[in-house]
C-alpha cells in the first residue's frame, strides 16, 4: 500500500494546506504527518521564547486536528537542518513512504535543506508547493523578467494578477479510515519558552479563523484610519499566525473579499490588502536575492557606513531606557508581550539606526529574539526599509523624529502611560518631552534623560551615510 508523508514546517494548519491536500487526494493511501524541531538551529537564529510557546500550542492543536482525520503526527527533535535530512530519510524508510509532500520555504538555508532532502530521497516522489504566498515567486516580474526592486510597481503588478485570477483555497482533508484516539501524548519542545497572551494571539487554527473572519467583517473598514495609533486596537494581530502558517495569505484574501468585494479596486480593505502584499514582496525578494538571508544589505554601498559600537546605547534601546517615551514604551511592549505595533516598529528601528547609528543587524537580531511573529523575510525587509539599506525608493535621509512621531501617533500619551508607569502623572502637553517639564517644575522623574540629541544625531547620521556613498563613487 502506498504511503504518503506530509512534512509540516511553517504551515501548521489543516485548512488550505496545499501539501496536505495533495497528499490526501487519494483515499487509497496511508498518510502520515511529520514535524522536525531543529532546536540548535532555532537557537542560532535567536527564535523568541514566546514564539516557541506559540509554536508548541499550534503543534498540539494540529496533532488533535490530524488525529480526528486519522493522520498520525510524528514530531522529531534534531540539532539542525543537516540532521533534518537524516530524520526525514529515517521516517521514510521506517514507514515505507512512497511520496513526500511539503510546502516551500524561501529562506536560503531552508532551500538548501530541501534540495538535499530531495537528493537523499531520489527513490521517492517529492512534491513541493508555493503555499505561504498568494502568488508564487517568479509570477510577478518586470517587463524584463526581473524581480521588482521597489514595492509600489510590484504592488500594481500583483493586483493586476489578482484581478486576472484569484488564488483558491483548498478544503481540509476528510477522515481517513478512522479517527485516532482522543487522548494523545502532549508534544513538548526542549527550547526556552515564555507564556504568550492568549487574549491577544490565537491558541489554535480554529480560533485563528474566527479572528480572521471577525477582523474582516468588523474592523478592517477602520484599519486605514486606526492602524497607526498604538493606543487603539486597530490591527488584526494575525501576524503570528501567518508567520507559522496557522493561517494562509489566501485565506486572508478570500475572507477580506467575502466581506469587502471591492478591496482589489482600492475600496474598503485595500490598505490591509496592501500590508499582505508587502509580506509577499519580502518573500519574493529573498527568493531572488538570497544574500538578504545572510545579513547582507540590498544596497551594497551601505556596508560602508561606519556604525557606532556603543553597547550601552544598544542596551538602553533594548530595555526601553532611551529617554524618548514613544521609543521606550514600544520596546517595553515588545519585551513584555513579544509583539509591537507596526508603526512603532518603524519608529524604534529608525531610532536605533538613524539616531544611535547602530548597525541595523543588531536590531534585526534583537527583534527575532523577542517577536512572537518572528519571520525572517518580513523582519529583514522592515529593518532594511528603516535603515535605508533595502529596496525602497526613499533616500537615506528619511529619518523619523521620535518626539514628533510620538506627538502625532500617541498625542494624548495613552500608550506611553500604559507602558511607562513613571510618566503616569506627567501632564499630556509634556508627555513627549517629560524632562523639559520636570526641570521647569523642579520634579525628579524615575525615568532616564534622553541619551542622544536628535538634531545632532541626525546630522551625524547623514554625514555617515554620505561618506559611505562617496566611498562607493570613489571606487
In the β-sheet with 73-78, what is the strand arrangement from edge to edge? 73-78, 30-38, 3-8, 99-103, 125-129
Answer for the pair 335, 320: CB distance below 8 angstroms, yes or no.
yes
SS3 321: coil
Beta bridge partners of 422: none
Per DSSP, the three-state class of 234 is: coil
Annotation-wise, does 435 bind a ligand? Answer: no
Determine whether the annotation assigns residue 237 to a binding site.
Answer: yes
Catalytic-labelled residue, pool 7, 278, 339, 385: 278
What is the number of alpha carbons within 13 Å of residue 314 lying toward its C-beta?
16
Backbone phi and psi for residue 349, each to the nearest 5 degrees, phi listed first? -70, -45
- Give yes or no: 383 in active site: yes
Q: b or e along 57-75 (b: 16 or more beta carbons within 10 Å of the residue's beta carbon)? A: bbbbbbbebbbebbbebbb
* Residues 350 and 399 sit within 8 Å (Cβ to Cβ): yes
Q: Is 235 annotated as a binding-site member?
A: yes
122 marked ligand binding residue: no
DSSP 8-state assignment for residue 121: T
Distance between CA atoms of residues 131 and 209, nearest Å: 17
369 labelled ligand-binding: no
Q: Is 373 annotated as ligand-binding? A: yes
The answer on whether 262 is annotated among ligand-binding residues is: no
Active site residue 165: no
The CA–CA distances, whole Å, from 413 to 55, 336, 340, 392, 455 equal 34, 19, 17, 31, 23
- Residue 189: phi, psi to the nearest 5? -130, 130
Please tell me which residue in 304, 321, 335, 342 is annotated as part of the active site.
342
Active-site residue 278, yes or no?
Answer: yes
Q: Write the CA distances from 248 to 68, 135, 136, 236, integer angstroms.
A: 21, 12, 13, 14
Residue 322 assigned as binding residue: no
DSSP 368-414: HHH-TT--HHHHHHHHHHHHT-SS-SS-TT----HHHHHHHHSTT-H
154 labelled as ligand-binding?
no
Are 264 and 271 within 8 A, CB to CB?
no
The answer on whether 361 is annotated among ligand-binding residues is no
Catalytic residue, chosen from 383, 385, 401, 419, is 383
Catalytic (active site) residue 435: no
- Please pick, among 301, 304, 307, 460, the residue that the annotation labels catalytic: 307
Q: Which of 219, 221, 275, 407 is catalytic?
A: 275
- Catalytic member of 360, 362, 364, 379: 360
214 and 98 Cβ atoms separated by less than 8 Å: no
> 36: annotated binding-site residue?
no
- Determine contact, residues 362/328, Cβ cutoff 8 Å: no
Residue 179 DSSP code: P
* Angle between the N-to-C axes of helices 270-288 and 376-387, in degrees from 0 to 180, rounded to the nearest 10: 100
Judge whether 177 is annotated as a binding position: no
Helix or strand or coil: residue 334? Answer: helix
Q: Is 238 among the annotated ligand-binding positions?
A: yes
**Grid coordinates representing 16?**
488550505
Helix (H) or strand (E) holding 33: strand 30-38
199 is in an annotated binding site: no
Q: Is residue 347 within 8 Å of 444, Cβ to Cβ?
A: no
**Do the annotations mark residue 282 as ligand-binding?**
yes
The answer on whether 409 is annotated among ligand-binding residues is no
402 Cβ contact list (under 8 Å, min separation 6)? 324, 326, 327, 347, 350, 351, 355, 454
Binding residue numbers: 223, 235-239, 272, 275-282, 373-375
Q: Which residues are catalytic, by number?
A: 275, 278, 307, 342, 360, 383
Binding residue numbers for FAD: 223, 235-239, 272, 275-282, 373-375
Amino acid at each position: 500500500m502506498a504511503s504518503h508523508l506530509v512534512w509540516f514546517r511553517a504551515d501548521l494548519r489543516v485548512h488550505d494546506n496545499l501539501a496536505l491536500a495533495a497528499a490526501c487526494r487519494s483515499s487509497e493511501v496511508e498518510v502520515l504527518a511529520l514535524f522536525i524541531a531543529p532546536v540548535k538551529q532555532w537557537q542560532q537564529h535567536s527564535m523568541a521564547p514566546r514564539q516557541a510557546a506559540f509554536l508548541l500550542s499550534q503543534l498540539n492543536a494540529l496533532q488533535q486536528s490530524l488525529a480526528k482525520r486519522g493522520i498520525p503526527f510524528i514530531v522529531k527533535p534534531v540539532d539542525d537542518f543537516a540532521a533534518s535530512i537524516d530524520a526525514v530519510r529515517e521516517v521514510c524508510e521506517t514507514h515505507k513512504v512512497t511520496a513526500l509532500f511539503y510546502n516551500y520555504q524561501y529562506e536560503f538555508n531552508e532551500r538548501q535543506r530541501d534540495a538535499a532532502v530531495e537528493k537523499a530521497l531520489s527513490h521517492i516522489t517529492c512534491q513541493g508547493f508555493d503555499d505561504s504566498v498568494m502568488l508564487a515567486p517568479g509570477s510577478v516580474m518586470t517587463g524584463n523578467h526581473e524581480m521588482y526592486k521597489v514595492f509600489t510597481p510590484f504592488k500594481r503588478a500583483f493586483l493586476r494578477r489578482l484581478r486576472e485570477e484569484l488564488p483558491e483555497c483548498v478544503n481540509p482533508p476528510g477522515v481517513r479510515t478512522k479517527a485516532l484516539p482522543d487522548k494523545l501524548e502532549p508534544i513538548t519542545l526542549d527550547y526556552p519558552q515564555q507564556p504568550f497572551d492568549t487574549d491577544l494571539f490565537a491558541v489554535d487554527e480554529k480560533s485563528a479563523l474566527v479572528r480572521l473572519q471577525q477582523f474582516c467583517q468588523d474592523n478592517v473598514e477602520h484599519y486605514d484610519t486606526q492602524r497607526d495609533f498604538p493606543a487603539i486596537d486597530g490591527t488584526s494581530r494575525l501576524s503570528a499566525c501567518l508567520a507559522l502558517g496557522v493561517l494562509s495569505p489566501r485565506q486572508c484574501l478570500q475572507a477580506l473579499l467575502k466581506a469587502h468585494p471591492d478591496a482589489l479596486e482600492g475600496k474598503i480593505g485595500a490598505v490591509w490588502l496592501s500590508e499582505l502584499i508587502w509580506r509577499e514582496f519580502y518573500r519574493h525578494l529573498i527568493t531572488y536575492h538570497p544574500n538578504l538571508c545572510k545579513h547582507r544589505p540590498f544596497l551594497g554601498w551601505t556596508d560602508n557606513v561606519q556604525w557606532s559600537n556603543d553597547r550601552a546605547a544598544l542596551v538602553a534601546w533594548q530595555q526601553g531606557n532611551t529617554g524618548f517615551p514613544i521609543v521606550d514604551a514600544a520596546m517595553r511592549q515588545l519585551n513584555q508581550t513579544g509583539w509591537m505595533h507596526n508603526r512603532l516598529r518603524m519608529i524604534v528601528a529608525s531610532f536605533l539606526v538613524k539616531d544611535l547609528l547602530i548597525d541595523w543587524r543588531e536590531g534585526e537580531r534583537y527583534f527575532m529574539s523577542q517577536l512572537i511573529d518572528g519571520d525572517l523575510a518580513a523582519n529583514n525587509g522592515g529593518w532594511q526599509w528603516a535603515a535605508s539599506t533595502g529596496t525602497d525608493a526613499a533616500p537615506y535621509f528619511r529619518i523619523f523624529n521620535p518626539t514628533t512621531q510620538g506627538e502625532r501617533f500617541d498625542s494624548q500619551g495613552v500608550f506611553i502611560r500604559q507602558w511607562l508607569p513613571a510618566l503616569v502623572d506627567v501632564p499630556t502637553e509634556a508627555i513627549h518631552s517629560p524632562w523639559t517639564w520636570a526641570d521647569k517644575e523642579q520634579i525628579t522623574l524615575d525615568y532616564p534623560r534622553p541619551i542622544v540629541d536628535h538634531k545632532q544625531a541626525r546630522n551625524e547620521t547623514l554625514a555617515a551615510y554620505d561618506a559611505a556613498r562617496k566611498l562607493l563613487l570613489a571606487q
